[in-house]
Amino acid sequence: MIIVMGKEVTEAEIGAVVRKLEAAGLQANISRGIERTVIGAIGDERKLDPEMFTPLPGVESAMHIAKQYKIVSRESHPSDTVIDIGGIPLGGKAVQIIAGPCSVETQEQMDLSAQYVSDAGCRLMRGGAFKPRTSPYAFQGKGVEGLDMFDRAARKHNLPIVTELMDVRMLDTFLERGVDVIQIGTRNMQNFDLLKEVGKIDTPVILKRGMSATISEWLMSAEYIAAGGNHNIIFCERGIRTFETAYRNVLDVTAIPVLKKETHLPVIVDPSHAGGKAWMVPALSRAAIAAGADGLLVEMHPNPCEAWCDADQALNPQELKNLMGVLKQIAQALGRDL
């Protein structure tokens, strides 16, 4: 951290800043210029906050110079991290497509979904047993019954399951039922108590970006999980909220290379929630893989017209199979495996 002092700063004001740094266990390096005096903090500056210094007399500004997301940063781990999901790698050269319905509805629907996901060549399956909905009157998911239906369907095809955890009180239930990947949804990206709890386990976590979250806020949320000891974290870009109304969300493709520069952890994309329409999903999927995404989270329903939620954005089984063929070519052109 550096603290910039005002032009008319006094020695007493400089001394107050130095003492505050030393009280926090850091040392101070004072650089006196013609116009300004700059005090540099030497040591672990993560324990400091700019607001500790900006109210002090003579202080003009204070700012971090080291990244606050130390564990998830690429500086701490230069090589790409590959997440092992039941023997299936995600990250590095491996690109994975995680497909399945928005929500768990019936056993027949899940059995058919698992069959179609497997037939398309996808190696992991998604599905929501618990559904965060804007309206309290909308379908909220099948809950624990849905987890059991999902498990029965996916295990027949050796598909690891990916499902959303909304309430920390359900974490033990997820673990007891062997959920392979826990998804933290966009509305819970900054639910810090939930992040701390999934940080205490080893189960891989997909962390979706909040609909109005900055890259820095997203990385700091991941740091909450990593700080607890769980480094099996996968970032998921799912579109951000802007002024545009022509589509559901704006897919921030730029976030992919930015995250790849900032973190060693895998980055996937949810094109279904970004576009909100099935016809947009193939184009957004192609763009995501071409931009360097490590995978996709795609909605597919055996009969989208009958889906209980997000029917407009779900692919049908043939559309998923066609998409997989195209994405495999793009991945291969980039020297990756799908």
CB 4, CB 38: distance < 8 Å = yes
Q: Kindly provide the b/e burial profile for residues 48-65, where b requires at least 16 CB atoms within 10 angstroms of the residue's own CB.
A: beeebbeeeebbeebeee
Question: Is the pLDDT score of 7 beyond 90?
Answer: no
Q: Is the pLDDT of residue 309 over 80?
A: yes
pLDDT band at 1 (very low <50, low <70, confident <90, very high): confident
The CATH fold of domain 83-333? TIM Barrel (3.20.20)
The answer to pTM > 0.95 is no
User: How far is 314 from 69, CA to CA, in rounded Å?
Assistant: 35
Q: What is the pLDDT of residues 129-156, one digit of tens each?
A: 987 767 776 777 788 999 999 999 999 9
Tokens standing for 93? 């050269």
Cβ-contact 202, 228 below 8 angstroms: no
So what CATH class is 2-63?
A: alpha beta
Measured distance CA(234)–CA(190) in Å, rounded = 15
What confidence tens digit (pLDDT) does each residue in 106-136 have?
Answer: 999 999 999 999 999 999 999 999 877 677 7
Q: Can you give the residue ranges of every domain in the chain?
A: 2-63, 83-333
